[in-house]
Amino acid sequence: MAQERVSVRKIKEILRLHYDLGLRQQQIARSCRIGQATVHRYLERFAASGVSWPLSADWDEKRLEQLLFATKRGRPTGPVDRPAPDFAALQDELRKHPHLTLQLLWEEYRAQQPGGYGYSRFCDLYRRWQETQDVVLRQEHRAGEKVFVDWAGAKIPLFPRETGAAEAASLFVAVLGASNYTFAYATPNQDLPSWIEAHVRAFEFFEGVPQLVVPDNARTGVNRACRYEPDLNRTYHEMAQHYGVAVLPTRPYKPRDKAKVEVGVQVVQRWIVAALRHQRFGSVAEVNQAIAVLVERLNQRRFRKRQGTRASLFAELDRPALQPLPSERYRISEWKSVRANLDYHVEIDRHYYSVPYQLTGQLLEARWTATTVEIFHRGMRVASHLRSNAVYRHTTNSEHRPKSHQAHLEWTPSRLVHWAESVGPATAQMVDAILTTKPHPEMGYRACLGILRLAKTYSAERLEAASRRALQLEAFSYQSLRSILKNSLDRQALPTPEDQPSGPVHKNVRGADYYDLSNLFLQ
């Protein structure tokens, strides 16, 4: 069976979850949406490389890829028949001791059976045995470990005063695993910015960050499933990195994984949505003001079958175990794949930003916020710009241009006119007229540079004479000057005002005599 190959970016996420957050391989596999054997293989390769974590700033994706895939390790061999653990006894131990872990049970197993299974295989076999049992093991959530998030099915009607048309606000729900402490927040819709904003507000409401975020497989946070490499939304993944959490989506078609948040959504719909049914809201902000009061009331309600409230359990269990919030609030950014055009610019939100010209035709990744735009190539930032809202305009860094383009753009209107003055006043007037008659001066640069070359071909004296003739004819173009010089019209005397016809002169113009009716009767 072929080994699963994943992107270098995902390998870096595997290393982060393992070394920074200390997650088990099974949790890393679910978070990254890959096989557990794949996680084990890459952790093993990285450990064998001798490189320490975290990686320094000069480690780009290409270097990490060379480190991990330069040589292929052989598959370790071992005994085929290994003593199987007593899974029923393991389950009894886990029931009696809620804080007991499979890691400790595996260490005790290996102490008795040195030739037994490795930890990953031990856990996999236990989970498979568990699925064959009729009895479901109750999930025991550790303090500060997980927060379950999802959109509620019910929506809250809105009646904007400006339009009067009925709309609806979506409701985001977050529930901490150990205490059931609940957070609810209304958003205009269920798009990605609303999803991220709701997470940020949930962390601020909890005044801390859990180890794991457990969402449903909603399209907002999880990209379309892929058999070989399903992935989180890039912005969602970046938000998780900023807060130092791991995202562990529930398994498809496994309702037990999301039972906590489904109960939380049901409670929110009963005690918040139903309580607001008689009120009319004109905006999402008004909805959130009303929700804040009801969320506080919900968390202070006493449990029916146990002592305390959600708030008291939160203060006792989850709050002390949560990680501190980062010093800065996460600013949402969006990502997309872009390709550099022939003019070494990429399009982002109908504006064009430059990248180094060597990347023309390359597939790049763009990240943008409300204020900045960054472009990456193989994980390395290659360009950074201030965000512009000008539609179909260009933002260009001169260093991104080839040398020939930079030399061409060194010409400015004042420099062109100054050069023309060295030829003569008529040439200077000609260049100035070309620049001023264009909608933008840069549109006349090419014509002016063409006039510069005419001086080298015909001499400055002839160009000055040709310019005087072109000015008198009001022919302000490079082609007119070139035609005058090519036909040696600059050597002829300039026509006087009396010699010039009052109308246009052309072989197809019949003249006034043609329309004289007296000539018609004389014929």
- Residue 3's pLDDT is 55
Residue 500 has pLDDT above 60, yes or no: no
Q: What is the C-alpha separation between 119 and 101, in angstroms, rounded? A: 12
Helices (H) and strands (E) in the chain, counts: 20, 13
The pLDDT assigned to 173 comes to 92
Is 80 exceeded by the pLDDT of residue 75? Answer: no
- pLDDT, tens only, 316-326: 888 999 999 99
| Residue pLDDT, tens place only, 216-241 | 765 655 555 443 344 567 888 889 99
In the predicted structure, residue 199 carries a pLDDT above the cut 80: yes
Q: Which of 323-327, 377-381, 401-405 bottoms out in mean pLDDT, i.e. has the lowest?
A: 401-405
CA 7 – CA 164 distance, rounded (Å): 49
pLDDT (0 to 100) of residue 218: 56
| CA–CA separation, 293 and 466 (whole Å) | 84
Comparing 13 with 204, which gets the higher pLDDT? 204
Gap between the Cα atoms of 2 and 4, Å rounded: 6
Who has greater pLDDT, 509 or 142? 142
Q: Is the pLDDT of residue 100 over 60?
A: yes
Please tell me what DSSP assigns to residue 343: T
CA dist., res. 189 & res. 167, Å (int): 10
pLDDT band at 137 (very low <50, low <70, confident <90, very high): very low
Q: How far apart are CA 450 and CA 431, in angstroms?
A: 11
Question: What tens digit of pLDDT does each residue of 423-479 get?
Answer: 889 888 888 888 888 766 666 777 887 888 888 888 889 988 988 888 888 888 888
For residue 178, pLDDT beyond 60: yes
pTM of the prediction? 0.56
Q: What is the mean pLDDT of the chain?
A: 79
Q: Provide the pLDDT for residue 4.
A: 57
- At residue 223, the pLDDT reads 54
> CA-to-CA distance for 387 and 375, rounded, in angstroms?
12
Quick one: tokens of 430? Answer: 């000609």
Cα 433 from Cα 450, distance rounded (Å): 15
Higher pLDDT, 116 or 207: 207
- Res 120: pLDDT: 84
pLDDT at 209: 94
E strands within 314-407?
A: 334-339, 345-348, 351-354, 363-368, 372-377, 380-386, 394-395
Give me the domains of the chain, ranges plus CATH numbers: 8-131 (no CATH), 146-321 (3.30.420.10), 334-406 (no CATH), 411-491 (no CATH)
Spell out the SS3 assignment of 178-213. CCCCEEEEEECCCCHHHHHHHHHHHHHHHCCECCEE
- Assign 1 a pLDDT band (cuts: 50, 70, 90): very low
Q: What's the pLDDT score for residue 293? A: 93
Are 208 and 320 within 8 A, CB to CB? no
- Please, which pLDDT band fits residue 78 given cuts at 50, 70 and 90? very low
Nearest residue to 465 via CA among 431, 439, 449, 489:
489
- Give yes or no for residue 6 having a pLDDT over 90: no
What pLDDT does 227 receive?
A: 38
Model confidence pLDDT, tens digit, residues 235-271:
888 899 999 998 888 765 555 555 666 787 888 888 8
Q: What percent of the chain has pLDDT over 90?
A: 16
Averaged pLDDT, 26-47: 86
Which has more pLDDT, 325 or 118?
325
